[in-house]
Structure 1
Amino acid sequence: MNRVLIDTNIVIDLLAMRKDFYEEAADLFSRADKKELVLAISALTFANTNYILTKLKSTKEAREILRKFKLLVEIVSLDEKITQLALSDDDFPDFEDGLQYYSAMENQIDIIITRNKKDFKNSKIPVLTAKEFMAKK
């Protein structure tokens, strides 16, 4: 079974119900709910998503959404090694993308799903959009 790292933008597409992107994200998470694949997110994504949701909803509502969401995903840790790798890698000028990438590498993730493939152009792990991934399944 594929282990897939979901980038922050896809998680926010789902939980904030972003108009042009929600359906693809919902399809992806529906497959995880059916145990067809394992979706992983970095601890950083969880924190960033909470921040965004509290701008759109109350803190209480955001926490409740995240409690339910947590049942669908595996949260991979963000540690000193991953941080150091991201800081040292000029192939990922965006530090957050480097953290996502090295979280995937260190946790034996098979695929990264994002809307911003260009941010992962030097990835050794396949990088797909949600639409591309769903088309392959």
Structure 2
Amino acid sequence: MIKLFIDSDIVLDLLIKRNEFESSAILFTQIDRKEFQGFTSPIVFANVHSIMTKYAGKEESILNLRRIRKILSLLTINEEVIDEALYSDAPGFEDSIQYIASEKNGIDFIITRNKKDYKGSKIPALTATEFLEMNIGNEEI
């Protein structure tokens, strides 16, 4: 089954109904239906909570994250991942951590609106819309 890493901006698009909301909603529905495996990182949960608290308050943020957690699995970020990120040439440390964790877990696509954050990635970085336009369904790549 195709494994997707879901970045913070995609989760926020869904929860705040911004930018590519419809594509994000469709993607989460497909993950929930087990058409794809969805993964994210503890960093994403922290980032989303910080931003969501400003929009909707702490309680609403936690409720939304609980719903997201039922759909997405978490990638492990351990010493090995951090050590590799510390010596990475990637422009962003946070994105480097997430990329390395994704690579170690066999992620097929990174779904993000900030594709430049994953420039040079061996894992294709796509927007939710771009991924959905591929129309790959449950097929293996």
Alignment TM class, shorter chain as reference: over 0.9
Aligned residues: 135
> Displacement of 1:132 after TM fit?
1.0
Match of 1:52 in 2: 51
1:44–1:78 CA contact under 8 A, matched in 2: no
> Displacement of 1:50 after TM fit?
0.9
- SS of residue paired to 1:124: coil
- SS of residue paired to 1:4: strand
Q: Alpha carbon RMSD of aligned pairs, Å?
A: 1.0
Match of 1:66 in 2: 65
Q: 1:83-116 CA distances to partner (integer Å, 9 max, x unpaired)?
A: 11111111x1111110110110111111111111
Residue identity (%): 42
Amino acid at match of 2:60: E
1:82–1:99 CA contact under 8 A, matched in 2: yes
2:112–2:125 CA contact under 8 A, matched in 1: yes
Unaligned runs of 5+ in 1: none
> Displacement of 1:80 after TM fit?
1.3
- Which 4+ stretches in 1 moved above 4 angstroms? none
Unaligned runs of 5+ in 2: 136-141
Match of 2:97 in 1: 99
> Displacement of 1:16 after TM fit?
1.7
TM-score of the two chains, using structure 2 as the length reference = 0.91
CA distance in 1, matches of 2:75, 2:52: 20
Match of 2:25 in 1: 26
